[in-house]
């Protein structure tokens, strides 16, 4: 088989690759700040508010996006040992992910095949799973191994009552599922395409969880997600937080259709204008990644070391409700003498900002859209290229689903 890796990918380690991208973002940021510019599209784009408020749109979206696309269920480091488990119920489908004895991950509907009771309620490490209703027991491959009073089930073969599989794949430290019954393979590298090496270099297999929370959002999931895709609002919405540390309306945008990566330049980068690159200090890798359709992977550098902030946004019961599953991880290679508190503080700080500023303004906008006239259209400026591309690509998936 032909080796399709570029020479750059063959030579550079993940750390070296991140460093190379950080240098590229640094150069581009200096030019954009110098020129008073940002990466942008050819012009503004309008969009029908139905994408945020319409129940039929939301119904089709659940099928096309939140049933048939690979979704990030968790990370391999969350279930490192055989018998470890995680529950993924964000789409409404109860999914159980387990680490098998040979190191693979399996995913099943979290449903006992006796009378559909919830099988696993607590994610303790064990090599068998016993239903609390009637004590039917299953192994890590989903096979039924224990059936009390089996004489009452004459003619029912245990081999036919295994757990119902769900498509799952573990790749580059990430666990993806399609939240529906099935045993089809997920070709995650085909889905990620050119974005695959950009994600792999983040080394998610070398981190550990510090804190996780769930945030309720009184807005459509896309309205909240849009807030991660532009710097136009930094000064006005975040004057004492990100607006005080980063340039407003300046960003480096890297497109990996349908995914993307954004670098928002810090204000100190402006001091490099007019200076030789040899005099520039090394800038750490900082970037916001959209893992289409609903995941923000934010890589920061804090004084204690790198930090990974993960935001997974999901639709709620109605188009005007959503929630975010947020998590902060630290590298497992960070100085073990540094406790978790700096990463906990970062998690709490970001949560305060997004809930009181981003998600708050999203809720206001969502309520207003419900009362907008029929001919009203939202508009995304050319400086909001990431949002434009996200909505175009999402609409293409919705159109394809409707055409079936």
CA–CA dist 358, 317 (Å, integer): 21
Burial (CB count within 10 angstroms: exposed 0-12, middle 13-18, buried 19+), residue 352: exposed
284-329 pLDDT, tens digit per residue, is 999 999 999 999 999 999 998 999 999 999 999 999 999 999 999 9
DSSP state of 275: S
3-state secondary structure at position 310: strand
CA–CA dist 98, 105 (Å, integer): 6
Q: Where are the alpha helices (DSSP H) in 232-358?
A: 234-237, 242-245, 341-353
Number of Cβ atoms within 10 Å of the Cβ of 97 = 25
pLDDT band of 404, cuts 50, 70, 90: confident
User: Are 107 and 96 a contacting pair, CB within 8 Å?
Assistant: yes
3-state secondary structure at position 192: helix
CA–CA dist 381, 254 (Å, integer): 17
- φ, ψ (nearest 5 deg) of residue 161: -115, 30
61-88 pLDDT, tens digit per residue, is 999 999 999 999 999 999 999 999 999 9
CA–CA dist 305, 65 (Å, integer): 35
- Residue 136: pLDDT over 70: yes
How many residues are recorded in the chain? 404
User: Are 163 and 138 a contacting pair, CB within 8 Å?
Assistant: yes
- Identical fold for domains 7-64+194-403 and 71-185, yes or no, is no
CA–CA dist 101, 103 (Å, integer): 6
The answer to whether the pTM exceeds 0.75 is yes
Residue range 7-64+194-403, CATH number: 3.90.380.10
DSSP state of 83: T
* Residues paired with residue 207 on neighbouring β-strands, in sequence order: 331
* Residues paired with residue 212 on neighbouring β-strands, in sequence order: 327
* Residues paired with residue 381 on neighbouring β-strands, in sequence order: none
- φ, ψ (nearest 5 deg) of residue 130: -115, 125
For domain 71-185, the CATH superfamily is: Rieske [2Fe-2S] iron-sulphur domain (2.102.10.10)
Alpha-carbon torsion (262, 89, 398, 379), positive or negative: negative
- Annotated domain spans of the chain: 7-64+194-403, 71-185
CA–CA dist 172, 199 (Å, integer): 8
337-360 pLDDT, tens digit per residue, is 779 999 999 999 999 999 999 999
CA–CA dist 86, 89 (Å, integer): 10
Whole-number pLDDT of residue 21: 97
């Amino acid at each position: 088989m032909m080796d399709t890796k570029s020479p750059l990918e063959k030579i550079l380690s993940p750390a070296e690759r991140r460093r190379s991208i950080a240098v590229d973002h640094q150069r581009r940021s200096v030019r954009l700040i110098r020129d008073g510019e940002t990466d942008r599209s050819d012009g503004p784009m309008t969009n029908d508010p139905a994408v945020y408020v319409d129940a039929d749109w939301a119904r089709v979206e659940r099928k096309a996006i939140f049933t048939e696309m690979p979704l990030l269920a968790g990370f391999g480091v969350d279930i490192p040992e055989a018998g470890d488990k995680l529950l993924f119920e964000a789409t409404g489908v109860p999914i159980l992910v387990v680490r098998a004895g040979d190191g693979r991950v399996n995913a099943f509907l979290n449903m006992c095949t006796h009378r559909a009771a919830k099988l696993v309620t607590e994610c303790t490490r064990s090599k068998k799973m016993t239903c609390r209703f009637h004590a039917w027991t299953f192994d890590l491959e989903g096979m039924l191994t224990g059936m009390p009073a089996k004489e009452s089930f004459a003619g029912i073969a245990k081999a036919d009552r295994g757990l119902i599989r769900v498509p799952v794949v573990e790749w580059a430290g990430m666990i993806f599922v399609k939240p529906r019954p099935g045993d089809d393979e997920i070709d995650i590298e085909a889905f990620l395409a050119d974005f695959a090496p950009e994600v792999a270099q983040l080394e998610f297999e070398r981190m550990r969880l510090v804190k996780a929370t769930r945030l309720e959002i009184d807005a459509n999931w896309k309205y909240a997600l849009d807030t991660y895709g532009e710097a136009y609002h930094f000064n006005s919405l975040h004057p004492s937080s990100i607006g005080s540390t980063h340039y407003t309306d300046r960003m480096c945008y890297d497109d990996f259709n349908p995914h993307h990566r954004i670098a928002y330049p810090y204000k100190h980068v402006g001091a490099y204008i007019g200076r030789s690159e040899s005099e520039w200090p090394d800038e750490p890798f900082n970037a916001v990644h959209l893992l289409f359709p609903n995941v923000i992977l934010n890589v920061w550098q804090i004084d204690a070391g790198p930090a990974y902030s993960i935001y997974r946004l999901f639709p709620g019961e109605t188009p005007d409700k959503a929630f975010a599953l947020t998590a902060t991880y630290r590298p497992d290679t960070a100085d073990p003498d540094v406790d978790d508190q700096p990463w906990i503080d970062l998690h709490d700080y970001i949560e305060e900002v997004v809930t009181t500023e981003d998600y708050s303004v999203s809720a206001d906008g969502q309520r207003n859209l419900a009362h907008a006239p029929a001919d009203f259209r939202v508009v995304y400026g050319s400086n909001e290229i990431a949002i434009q591309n996200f909505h175009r690509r999402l609409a293409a998936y919705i159109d394809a689903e409707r055409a079936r």
